Amino acid sequence: TASYIVDFEMFADNSDQNTVNQTLDAEGALNFNDWRVQADTTFRYFENRTGSEDTARVPRASDLTNVKVIYDFNKLDVGLNYDYRYENYRTCHAIGTDAGQALTYQYLDSNEHSGEVELAVQFWPKPEMLFSGRHGALKYDTGKKSNSEYYDILTGLRGQFFTKGEIEGKIGYRTQNYR
């Protein structure tokens, strides 16, 4: 038996600071007998508002996409996750200098890919014990900033402790190498 859910949402936020921020959210799920596929994406074209950490109000586009394939065994779930993050600054304003050369926000344009294997083991009636390993790479488009590669080892708990929600928490270790 298969079932699917598709949700699509788009909205524009017109603040009193003369900017229109646009967000496009989409998510979907395919549920089969013992396994499921979940995907979601959020694309934003926006500027930070005055008073935030980025007071220059730099226009930029960002995308965050996640795809999960989960197989359910009796008391064990195995999940494969793929995440993609994209950041694109839409201005040529200077942010400083490096080795006597002017740097702009576009030097911060980046792509990040990561993959994760997660095991969820049910030892107790409600919570599941989580174990996961993740590998990812962050690449800057211009080559002016150091690219990096990282590995995470995580453990945690996930459970439906309340009737209307699920809580998940993880803690772990990361090693990151810059090139």
> Three-state SS for 52?
coil
Per-residue pLDDT in tens (0 to 9) along the chain, 179 residues: 455 555 555 555 555 556 677 888 888 888 888 999 999 999 988 886 665 555 567 888 999 999 999 999 888 999 999 999 999 998 888 888 877 888 888 888 999 999 999 999 998 877 899 999 999 999 998 877 889 999 999 999 998 877 788 888 999 999 999 98
Query: Can you read off the two tokens belonging to residue 93?
Result: 């304003």
Whether pTM exceeds 0.75: yes
Tokens 């990561």 correspond to what residue? 114
Phi, psi of 109 (to 5 degrees): -60, 130
Instruction: Give me the pLDDT at residue 88, please.
Output: 93
Partnered with residue 145 across adjacent β-strands are none
CA distance 78 to 70: 6
- pLDDT at 57 (0 to 100): 74
pLDDT at 8: 55
Instruction: Give the Cα separation of 155 and 99 in Å (integer).
Output: 42
- CA 147 to CA 110: how far, in whole Å? 9
Q: Exposed e or buried b for every residue in 33-55, given b needs 16+ CB within 10 A?
A: eeebebbeeebebbbbeeeeeee
How many Å apart are CA 106 and CA 156, to the nearest integer?
37
